[in-house]
Amino acid sequence: MFLQGLKDKFKQKSGEKYLKNELLKVQDLERNLKGIKKVGVIVDLDTFQEADLFYQFIEMFNLRPNAVKIIGYKAFYDKNSPYATPVFSDKDLGWGGAVENSYALEFLSKEYDLLLNYYTQDTLIVKLMTAKTKARIKVGFAELNPALNDLILQTRLQDFNTFKSELKKYLKVMNEV
């Protein structure tokens, strides 16, 4: 029991160190491309359960039906229970900031034009997922570290319609839609 707690603490410290270094790096993605073709969403399912609402972006941005990829965070989840959205948790944090979850690794293997960080909790594993995701534009909330996102929206997490309209407004200003 004591050794497990010590091991978890060291994993946490190594993950924080990795995140700090990752935020200092500049991703070399094609920044001169315009338009939204693929959308990735990291959502905190503990505070916002309606993850299916993000599929509205298919119509909003005239995307292909499979262009929106959603992954959810739950503080605790049962691996034997079926979830509509693939999930990861704090238990999936490995050494040196590694993520040890097949759903998360699949999500991280793809590149996105737009990444929506739909969470406000300051959780290491979720911030690592954001930092590791390859996306041209990262959008999140004001409660988070501003280094994680390119565009920060000051809306409430539960007010999805305001978030959606504000996102569309700012993407039009950026000539992305």
**Mind listing the pLDDT tens digit for each residue in 137-155?**
999 998 888 889 999 999 9
Q: Tell me the DSSP string of 21-48.
A: HHHHS-----TT--S---EEEEEETTT-
Torsions phi, psi of 120, nearest 5? -125, -10
Query: Model's pTM, two decimal places?
Result: 0.89
Alpha helices in the chain (DSSP H): 2-24, 56-60, 102-108, 124-132, 160-173
Encode pLDDT of 58-69 as tens digits. 999 999 999 999
Domain range summary for the chain, segments of one domain joined by +: 2-26+37-173
User: 2-26+37-173: which CATH number, 1.10.3470, 1.20.1410, 3.40.50, 3.30.420?
Assistant: 3.40.50
Label residue 19 by pLDDT band (50, 70, 90): confident
